[in-house]
A and B are shown apart, each in its own frame.
Chain A
Amino acid sequence: MTDLHTITLVVNGRRHTLAVEARRTLADTIRDGCGLTGTHIGCEHGVCGACTVLVDGEPMRACLMFAVQADGSAITTVEGLGSRAALHPLQRAFMANHALQCGFCTPGFLMLAAGVLAKEPDIDDDALREALSSNLCRCTGYAAIFKAVRAAADAMAKKKVR
């Protein structure tokens, strides 16, 4: 019925060659095609940010992109951010600061923050708040998320200095 396109995605360092319809979103492809369900879908409208992943280092809303547009790209999802044995400073900070309750928005916030901090490691509070305002969380009331990202940014900065 619909034409399939063969694409290659490098997700968390692993190559996936997939045949997808042109209309299939990157979010669905990561979840169903690559079997990585940590990337969540909260609105499919580009508003909530639950689906945020890094595409060639840039935080992107995977529900707004078609998989074919990401052909050849390197993608990092929450599964590739850190492992249970070696958590990323952001993951540590989210736990330590109680920045998650149900955890549904968490992968999106983690990836958004990872992208923001990679580009602007010494981002100030106002700019950070502004950047994090693009994702929605319904459980935490945000205060703890802000605190966690701030703490992670500081921890990452300290590590670099040493």
Chain B
Amino acid sequence: MARARTPQIGGRFERIEDPPLVTGRGRFAADISFPHQLHVRIVRSAHAHGIIRAIDKAAALAHPGVFALWTADDIPEVPPIDFREGRIERLEAYRQPVLARGRVRYVGEPIAAVFADDAYVAEDAAELVMVDIEELPPILDACDPPGEWEPGRSTEPGVLTQGYGDMDEALAAADQVIELDLQIGRHSGVPMETRGAIARYDAATDTLELYGAAKIPHRNRDALARTFGRAPSSVQLYEGHTGGGFGIRGELYPEDLLVSAAAMRFERPVKWIEDRHEHLMTANQSRQQRHRAKIAVKADGTILGIDDEFFHDQGAYPRTHAMRVVDMTLGILPGPYRVPAYRVAGHYRLTNKTPAATYRSPGRYESSFVRERLVDAVADRLGLDRLAVRRKNLISAAEMPYLRPLIVLGEDAEFDSGDYHGLLDRALEHIGWDALQADLRRRREAGEAVGAGIAIFVEKSGAGPADGARVSVDSTGAVEVVTGGASIGQGFETAMAQICADALGVDYKRVRVVHGQTDRIAYGIGAHASRATVMTGNATHIAALAVRRKALEVAAELLQAPIEALDVVDGEVVRTDRPAGGSIALGAIAASLHPNAKTLGAREPGLAADGWHRTEHLACPYGIHIAVVGVDRETGAVTVEKFLIAYDVGRAVNPMMVEGQIVGGFMQGLGGALYEEFVYDERGQPQSVTFADYLMPTMSEAPEIEIILREDCPSPRNPLGIKGAGEAGINSVGAVIASAIDVAIGMPGAVTQLPVSPQRLKAIFDRGR
């Protein structure tokens, strides 16, 4: 019998990244050290808003072991932090300086940097730096009228708008217009590894190296090159292991620029490792928005339009993402429903809090909360069933691809494929919706506060425009995929290895995957916005197919066989038309393609190929969340009894990893729904600066969670049919928990603010009395 290949895509394969990680052999940022390195400690503002009157460096400089101390005046050549996209005119003046110049705008803002031989010494000396600040009143609410950012400049750098259809007419024609005031709390990714950056300047080759990079090393390389006026080829970034990304890790922060500048100035390696206290007051926060949203409907529940104005609390400065979260919110808010008219304005406002940016499912966690609360309110107000209203307005499979005249991250909001009703039916059947409702009703009648909620969403993934990969096989048959992707813990290496192995015809464990090394590949899209598997995966697929083609061509010659009769199985080219009859290993083919090999002939040396995937379209996965919660009327505590996530991922490269992404995302969503919040007091002092105050879920809070993973609608927009998976678990958790709580306590529409902390819930009870 001819040998058959084992599929490498679709299996629940163990991850190739695990062995070093379970044996303590990972290389996280803090694990990287260089001989002769300096440690830097940042002196941070203790005030939310103020003018810097004086900085006394003397005592710190006199401290034994201190090498140097910088304030803004010491680094006039270092410009403020750039945006990812480069220049953005209207935000230019608002950019964050690497060290505060004249004014401080949030507690934790870097003011000075102390360099020393030892990290403990740097910390001691930092405490000796005396900063005299004249306090100014802070701006802490993005809904207040805009204030003065600096003389002549408002705290509202811009208002973004989108829309289509005739909203005024929709409002006029509606049987009901329902208006809600909804708030999403400030929370963030909070990876378990804090940030870290180690810079090294190699004078021998005039190269600046930055370690501890993550997420988007190539973009950051270009940004650093621009910042320091260097050729990109003289700046290299290296991603090691990353202890969680979630959108917030891997952006360029002041500290990344500081260590880079210092390494070049001092010609010594400079290491900065953030502590948790710093992390919770300086790393990007996210989510905080307040929406005043109207929905216009007919008496039968048909949506006529959504009219929304919201206020986005950006914190003290725009960061690398500029206005991206506001933009996302505008573009995706109508979600999976037919919304004939839409008008939205997002106010981008600066306050005296830690700056904000993207966090897993940015703009979607927020907008799903708003949209699903609106739909619940429609049902409640009209006396209809919440599920029935959803069903009535869902976009149908027949309408796919569904183009909505909105822009999402610069691309058309086109939903490529999907069967929303089909997935909904499946989810309801799986959980036994009708029986569940009956049971919950019985329990409520018996005095319990229990209820179920449902939320439906569309995600976006795989935004282009292009990504490439290079696949090569060496003379031992080992395969290497060089990508410009990034691995932030999501299983990127295993996914790429599986995709490559499947196309090429080898075992995925034979594949080594390179990511986040700017000196190995010229371009790279990184890992953000659920792009990696879609973009880099398809590029890898295309490159691996090209390598396979080349191997077969060479083998056909060496084996004197027709190419159609050959296949690559387990790393060997074999004949498929007869049981025996010669085979040749990929390694041997690679050897025959060595530049010195006689067999090379006129061919390009090496068994290798590049692949590019280009797209102008989004791949839009979609999902359903169903939650069953119980509320303790005494304490206001919420318990999630059951949670179901149904999700169509198009095609799952590794279902085990997709499910892992979903469960992990869910738990973060639960944090934002019930526990996590960055709170500030009236002077702008952050109150959530330790893990004792910023409460993340532990194993005790983890409910039973069920997943229905479907591959019903592969994306027609890429060869593999993949849609992203990273944001499926988190998207609507806030929305659905809010919905379920309403039902549980018998107060429709009561939950208007996340997180639903025990205090907030008790306030709701009190109001209801």
Contact = CB atoms under 8 A, between A and B. Distances in A.
Interface in B647-684: 656-657, 659-661, 663-668
B509 to A, nearest CB: 13
| Dominant secondary structure of chain A at its interface with chain B | loop
B692 A47 contact: yes
B193 A91 contact: no
B192 A50 contact: yes
Contacts of A43: 276, 690-691
A107 B15 contact: no
A102 interface: yes
A104 B120 CA distance: 23
A103 B698 contact: no
Interface stretch (B20-28, B514-522, B709-717): B20-28
B275 interface: yes
Interface stretch (A65-73, A115-123, A132-140, A153-161): A132-140
A133 B243 CA distance: 19
A146 B120 contact: no
A101 B699 contact: no
B191 interface: yes
A101 B660 contact: yes
B22 A110 contact: yes
B70 to A, nearest CB: 23
B206 interface: no
A48 B656 CA distance: 26
B127 interface: no
Interface stretch (B149-157, B487-495, B736-744): B487-495
Contact of A96 (B14, B190, B245, B698): B14
A52 interface: no
Nearest to A128: B699
A27 to B, nearest CB: 11
B635 interface: no
A138 B22 contact: no
B596 interface: no
A24 B121 CA distance: 11
A41 interface: yes
Given A43-B691, A129-B699, A138 B668 contact: yes
Given A36-B24, A101-B491, A133-B698, A138 B191 contact: yes
Interface in A74-96: 77-79, 81-84, 87, 91, 94-96
A98 B15 contact: yes
Nearest to B13: A98
B219 to A, nearest CB: 21
| Dominant secondary structure of chain B at its interface with chain A | loop
Contact of B275 (A44, A47, A106, A129): A44
A100 interface: yes
A162 interface: no
B439 interface: no
A40 interface: yes
Given A42-B194, A143-B705, A78 B24 contact: yes
A29 to B, nearest CB: 12
Contacts of A31: 30-31
Contacts of A42: 192-194, 243, 276
Given A21-B120, A45-B691, A103-B21, A132 B663 contact: no
B410 interface: no
B102 interface: no
B702 A102 contact: no
Contacts of A103: 17-18, 21-22, 26, 241, 243, 489
Contacts of B696: 136, 138
A139 B489 contact: yes
Contacts of A50: 192
A1 interface: yes
B700 interface: yes
A116 to B, nearest CB: 13
Q: Which of B15, B190, B489 has its CB near the most chain A CB atoms (within 10 A)?
A: B489
26 contacts: A31-B31, A39-B24, A40-B30, A41-B30, A42-B276, A50-B192, A79-B24, A87-B22, A95-B15, A95-B18, A98-B15, A102-B241, A103-B17, A130-B700, A136-B691, A137-B192, A138-B190, A138-B696, A139-B489, A140-B663, A141-B660, A141-B667, A141-B702, A142-B698, A142-B699, A143-B663
Interface of A: 1, 21, 23-24, 31, 36-45, 47-48, 50, 77-79, 81-84, 87, 91, 94-96, 98, 100-107, 110, 129-130, 132-146
